[in-house]
Structure 1
Amino acid sequence: MSISDLRRQYSKGKLSSSDLTDSPFALFEQWLAEAIKAEIPDPTAMTVATVDADGQPSQRIVLLKEVSESGFVFFTNLGSRKAKELADNPKVSCHFPWFFMERQVRVCGVAERLTLAENARYFFSRPKESQLAAFASKQSQPISSRELLTTQFSQMKAKFANKSLPTPDFWGGFRIVPHQVEFWQGGEDRLHDRFEYNRQQDGSWATQRLMP
């Protein structure tokens, strides 16, 4: 069978104007809670898209670690490709692919660096193995083999076997402050429900239905 012949109906739900909340964050938290309750794989996984100096987009999946009226938070190595690109161009888009529920959420905004205190608080809440991995890996840099990576991890594990790791200056978080959030719910016959929130100058949100 050709992949062009693969198709199915989307019939798991609907989204109407009466379902919308004043703020997109309230609706997002509702959908996230439903995704967690449904036990879909990695409900906090989101694709983050950045753009380099040549205008080349790049995407990767990270994990959402906090959401509030202030924005969406994730953490990374500050020497990684995404962090370097965000330093030059903080405009960012992220996408939550909850396709098991026939839902998507798209976010457009600006990424802001978290404070050192915020970075440290989250870093030391992680399992120690995850802390060690952050020190062992210079994210996005070339490496000759996996064996070398595991050796570096083992060396870090031995070095800090009986003591805490220092606060890393190469690792931290970003908060995506959105100006636009879209909610997509699959519909039968490709008549999907799409609603877009746009932040107004006074900080409130205006909504509009989009054609599928």
Structure 2
Amino acid sequence: MTDESNVIPATDPFALFDAWFAEARTSEPNDANAMALATATPDAAPSVRMVLLKGHDACGFVFYTNAHSRKGGEVLANPQAALLFHWKSLRRQIRIEGPLEEVSAQEADDYFHSRPFVSQVGSAASDQSRPLDNRATYLARVEEISEAFSSAGEVPRPPHWTGFRLSPQRMEFWIDRPNRLHERRQFTLSGDQWNSTLLYP
């Protein structure tokens, strides 16, 4: 049987996320900030992919992308999404759902220019998700942009390269337990108040 002293506490979900994320950053071999991002088209066709969490606080969870990409188009057309963190080293996962809004231009600029120069170049050179005739075309663009901005040490942020913040309305914390007697606690936002309940596994 499970040890009931370990049941996920009914605490502030952001504080609980912070505690679990801190543990994951010491235990996961790669990219503890990797998360599955699920979006949908206006006619409800779903798609999912892995992205990286680049900021979080009580206002929400931030990721960056090319708004001309498939995910960017889906976000702009249907600004709601779900996130999933799955940390195999801890045997834990967190699901987060809510609406999306674009970050400010200043936030996008600040993050874009905090990235290594080669990453700025790669993003500026990419027509993300669009057909590519051959890899040499992309690498030639990379070389061209790198040469054009190497003396400046940074690349102007393309206006379509931006970030989105998911403001959670629902957060679910899950711990794997033997014999599939897992622990789940769901937090839902009502007004400005978080309510929580345990869920059957």
CA RMSD of aligned residues (A): 1.6
Secondary structure of the residue that 1:199 maps to in structure 2?
A: strand
**Among 140, 147, 165, which residue is 2:129 paired with?**
140
- Check whether the contact 2:55–2:62 (CA below 8 A) recurs between aligned residues: yes
Residue pair 2:28, 2:88 contacting (<8 A) in 1 also? no
Kept in 2: contact 1:20–1:27 (CA 8 A)? no
Give the SS at the match of 2:71: helix
Partner of 1:98: 87
Matched, 1:150 2:100: no
Q: Name which of 24, 28, 32 aligns with 1:35.
A: 24
* SS of residue in 2 equivalent to 1:152: helix
Q: Which ranges of structure 2 fall in alignment gaps of 5 or more residues?
A: none
- Is it true that 1:16 corresponds to 2:7 in the alignment? yes
The 8 Å contact of residues 16 and 193 in structure 1, kept in 2 or not, is answered as yes
Of 174, 183, 188, which aligns to 1:193?
183
Deviations 1:141-172 (A, max 9, x none): 11011222112111111111212322321111
Letter in 2 for 1:112: E
Contact 2:97 2:170 survives alignment (8 Å):
yes
Runs of 4 or more, structure 1, over 2 Å off, are: none
TM-score by length of 2: 0.94
Mapped to 1, the partners of 2:132 and 2:159 lie a distance apart of: 21
Bigger shift: 166-175 or 111-120? 166-175
Identity of aligned residues (%): 38
Q: Residue 15 of structure 1: CA displacement?
A: 4.3
Q: Secondary structure at the match of 1:26?
A: helix
Q: Count matched residues.
A: 198
TM-score by length of 1: 0.89
Give the aligned partner of residue 170 of structure 2: 180
Cα pair 1:179 1:199 within 8 Å, conserved: yes
